[in-house]
């Protein structure tokens, strides 16, 4: 090892000296992380010196500061959604409005009465904060809130089907995102799956023939993320309810998305309301809070009092229940449902779903008007009609009318344009279709118009 290398290594400052120089209080990070970063940078710097790279001590400080600045930036960042998919799983599904968040977090600062009866100081039940709202909206007698719909299904299955048989139609053994499969969940819940019918046709007699002394429940899984058409047959809820009641077997339906509003009134595909299944006599219904409801991630179980009471008594419930933040935001979201055909605008999910294409035209035209002629020419940008999906397996067979900015640049390829939009702060997520990069406007807010204009100017200048 040469003298110059040895000399440089001897001049490396200690960890404590570097900490004094960089002032760790400038970074919103745990002190242990700062120490670890400094040590790692010194080790990295030492290796570079040994292999002959010509570096000085100032380079070490620059490396440390660069690494700390990256760590100092929060991992969770705002993203502008140019995919047109309102319920985008990768972007957190249902967007929450500033009004709902402000109302929620004003209450959440400090302590809240999540399990306190403020009338007499006794222990309260956290579900009572939303129980009465769900009763009014779904006609259920009681409810349970857990951390997602998969948890809701797991909890219900385990409560009534542990070491017993669960009857499911072969045509309803669905798989959703993340390899969540109904048969796998049934197994994890400690239940034995009994398949009835065929993939495309199941009859009432199939259920009747499968029922025995060891039957724990009948599970109906609503196929919300695909459709089988043609030579098909399924058993209606009106047929299953009397059978389950006569055999004294719980009938539970997993709706997945779950709808509290009459979608056909808004030119969307008709979905039976949660209220329909409750009134039809189903013992319990499970659905998501962050899909068609427009709320936070959670799983909701609505149903009959005795059924919900047994579910709440299950030891798994404590492991799966939600915290004060979820309950607070969920309560605010449920209050946005005025009638089955009238939802307040602070439910951002439904505000986006019901957004007229005329508003999208105005947004798109305003963005184009703010661009320079040179950028318009280089980007090849145009405002076109488009169609989008709801997302997260909701409303799978219905495309929703929208508008999109389509880029056909001779200077940049679609992949490069995509990467440059992602590099913006905040990131702008679009998509490539037919070798053209697109920004759909359905889920882009008017307040983001100026930022998108500036980003387009920067990317194509």
d(Cα 114, Cα 324) in Å, to the nearest integer? 6
* Helix/strand/coil for 91: helix
d(Cα 399, Cα 396) in Å, to the nearest integer? 8
- The pLDDT assigned to 2 comes to 63
Lowest mean pLDDT among 194-198, 223-227, 322-326: 223-227
Phi, psi of 429 (to 5 degrees): -100, 115
Phi, psi of 339 (to 5 degrees): -140, 170
Reported confidence tier of residue 392, pLDDT bands at 50, 70, 90? low
Tokens 């034995």: give the residue: 192
The sign one gets for the Cα dihedral 103, 106, 107, 108 is positive
Alpha helices in 149-232 (DSSP H): 149-161, 182-188, 204-210
- The pLDDT assigned to 264 comes to 80
User: What value does the mean pLDDT take over residues 147-155?
Assistant: 94
Residues 6+ apart with CB under 8 A from 434: none
Contact between 171 and 202 under an 8 Å Cβ cutoff? The reply is: yes
User: What value does the mean pLDDT take over residues 175-201?
Assistant: 84
Measuring CA to CA, which residue among 218, 275, 272 is closest to residue 242? 218
- The pLDDT assigned to 192 comes to 95
- Confidence check: pLDDT of 228 > 80: no
Reported confidence tier of residue 407, pLDDT bands at 50, 70, 90? very high
d(Cα 441, Cα 425) in Å, to the nearest integer? 18
Phi, psi of 186 (to 5 degrees): -60, -40
User: What value does the mean pLDDT take over residues 404-420?
Assistant: 96
- The pLDDT assigned to 258 comes to 87
User: What value does the mean pLDDT take over residues 256-272?
Assistant: 82
d(Cα 39, Cα 14) in Å, to the nearest integer? 9
Helix (H) or strand (E) run with residue 400 in it: strand 400-407
Strand partners, 167: 194, 218
**What domains are defined for the chain?**
3-72 (no CATH), 79-88+353-460 (3.90.1150.180), 98-343 (3.40.640.10)
Measuring CA to CA, which residue among 214, 210, 121, 204 is closest to residue 165? 214
User: What value does the mean pLDDT take over residues 197-205?
Assistant: 87
Between 85 and 174, the more confident residue is 85
Measuring CA to CA, which residue among 61, 131, 439, 182 is closest to residue 308? 131
Measured from the Cβ of residue 312, the count of other Cβ atoms closer than 10 Å reads 18
End-to-end CA distance of the chain: 49
Reported confidence tier of residue 230, pLDDT bands at 50, 70, 90? low
- The pLDDT assigned to 397 comes to 55
- The pLDDT assigned to 51 comes to 84
Percent of the chain with pLDDT over 70: 95
- The pLDDT assigned to 373 comes to 95
Reported confidence tier of residue 201, pLDDT bands at 50, 70, 90? confident
Per-residue pLDDT tens digits for 92-141: 999 999 999 999 999 999 999 999 999 899 998 999 999 999 999 999 99
Strand partners, 144: 301
d(Cα 306, Cα 309) in Å, to the nearest integer? 5
Sort 74 into a burial class: Cβ within 10 Å, 0-12 / 13-18 / 19+: exposed
User: What value does the mean pLDDT take over residues 66-86?
Assistant: 94
CA-to-CA dists, residue 319 to 87, 152, 153, 159, 312, angstroms: 27, 12, 14, 14, 11
d(Cα 55, Cα 410) in Å, to the nearest integer? 42
Reported confidence tier of residue 334, pLDDT bands at 50, 70, 90? very high
Reported confidence tier of residue 56, pLDDT bands at 50, 70, 90? confident
Contact between 55 and 308 under an 8 Å Cβ cutoff? The reply is: no
d(Cα 338, Cα 340) in Å, to the nearest integer? 7
d(Cα 215, Cα 250) in Å, to the nearest integer? 10
Reported confidence tier of residue 159, pLDDT bands at 50, 70, 90? very high
Per-residue pLDDT tens digits for 433-445: 999 999 999 999 9
């Amino acid at each position: 090892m040469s003298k110059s290398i040895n000399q440089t290594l001897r001049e490396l400052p200690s960890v404590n000296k570097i900490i004094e120089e960089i002032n760790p209080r400038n970074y919103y990070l745990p002190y242990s992380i700062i120490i670890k970063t400094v040590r790692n940078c010194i080790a990295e710097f030492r290796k570079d010196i040994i292999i002959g790279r010509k570096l000085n001590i100032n380079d070490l400080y620059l490396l440390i500061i660069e690494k700390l600045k990256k760590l100092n930036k929060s991992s969770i960042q705002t993203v502008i959604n140019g995919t047109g998919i309102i319920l985008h799983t990768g972007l957190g599904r249902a967007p929450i409005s500033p009004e709902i968040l402000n109302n929620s977090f004003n209450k959440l600062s400090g302590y809240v009465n999540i399990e306190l009866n403020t009338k007499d100081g006794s222990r309260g039940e956290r579900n009572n904060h939303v129980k009465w709202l769900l009763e009014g909206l779904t006609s259920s007698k009681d409810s349970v809130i857990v951390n997602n719909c998969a948890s809701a299904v797991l909890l219900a299955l385990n409560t009534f089907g542990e070491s017993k048989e669960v009857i499911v139609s072969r045509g309803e053994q669905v798989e959703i995102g993340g390899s969540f499969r109904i048969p796998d969940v049934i197994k994890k819940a400690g239940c034995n799956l009994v398949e009835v019918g065929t993939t495309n046709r199941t009859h009432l007699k199939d259920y009747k023939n499968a029922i025995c002394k060891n039957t724990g429940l009948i599970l109906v899984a609503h196929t919300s993320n695909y459709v089988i058409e043609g030579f098909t047959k399924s058993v209606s809820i009106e047929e299953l309810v009397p059978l389950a009641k006569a055999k004294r077997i719980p009938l539970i339906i997993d709706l997945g998305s779950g709808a509290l509003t009459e979608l056909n009134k808004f030119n969307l595909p008709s979905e039976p309301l949660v209220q329909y299944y409750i009134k039809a006599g189903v013992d319990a219904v499970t659905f998501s809070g962050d899909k068609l409801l427009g709320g936070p991630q959670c799983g909701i179980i609505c149903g009959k009092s005795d059924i919900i009471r047994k579910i709440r008594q299950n030891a798994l419930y404590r492991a799966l229940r939600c915290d004060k933040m979820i309950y607070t935001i969920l309560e605010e979201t449920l209050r946005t449902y005025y009638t089955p055909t009238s939802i307040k605008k602070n439910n951002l999910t439904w505000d986006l779903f019901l957004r007229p294409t005329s508003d999208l035209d105005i947004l798109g035209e305003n963005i184009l008007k703010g661009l320079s002629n040179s950028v318009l020419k280089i980007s090849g940008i145009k405002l076109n009609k488009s169609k989008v999906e709801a997302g997260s397996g909701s409303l799978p067979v219905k495309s929703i009318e929208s508008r999109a900015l389509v880029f056909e640049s001779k200077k940049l390829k679609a992949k490069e344009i995509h990467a440059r939009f992602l590099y913006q702060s905040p990131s702008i997520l679009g998509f490539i279709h037919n070798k053209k990069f697109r920004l759909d406007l359905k889920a882009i807010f008017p307040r983001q118009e100026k930022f998108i204009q500036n980003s387009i100017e920067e990317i194509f200048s």
